[in-house]
Amino acid sequence: MSGIDKGYVHIYTGDGKGKTTAALGLALRAAGRGLRSHIVQFMKGQPYGELDAVKILYPLVVIEQYGDESFCRFTDPPDPGDIGRARVAFDRLIELMGSGTCDILIGDEAITAVTFKLISEDDLLAVMRKKPEGMELVLTGRGATEGLIHAADLVTEMKEIKHYYTKGILARKGIEL
């Protein structure tokens, strides 16, 4: 189905704001060219604004969430429920990769799922290696490992320089939510 001749693997990582936003921007741009994007959100179950926005772009952009409404919190060992939801998201990512139904596949917070030990780095590296030639694969999240960075074709690090969160300002509807 792909309108992409040669697809690449992108990683958007770092401690700054904008990783998911960059991936969504890519999906928006691709929709403008008739390409189909499918976004699998690991660890997210909150009612983010993009869920309503992409309904307008359906079927060119689809988002599926595989998380609890409260987001995942790092615990050692990881919460079994969080591991289970991450595994379902991971399996869905693999299924979509082989389905031929999208040009761009986005694993939003997939890297964070590795950081939180919900999925393994080896599993995510295997997905990167199995990416079909005509598909763009985008993985987001804090804490990309050296192995993931080495295996990717494009890596962008969002670096926090200054953020209003440090002044106690919570996530705002339409900006962070």
How is the chain split into domains, by residue range? 9-167
CATH number attached to the domain at 9-167: 3.40.50.300
User: 108: closest CA among 7, 37, 29?
Assistant: 37
pTM for this entry: 0.94
Give the separation between CA 107 and CA 128, rounded to whole angstroms.
Answer: 11
DSSP summary character for residue 64: E
Q: Which tens digits make up the pLDDT trace of 84-96?
A: 999 999 999 999 9
3-state secondary structure of 25: helix
Kindly report the average pLDDT of the chain as a whole number. Answer: 94
Q: Write the CA distances from 25 to 18, 81, 121, integer angstroms.
A: 10, 30, 26
pLDDT at 54: 95
* Tokens coding 68: 């609890």
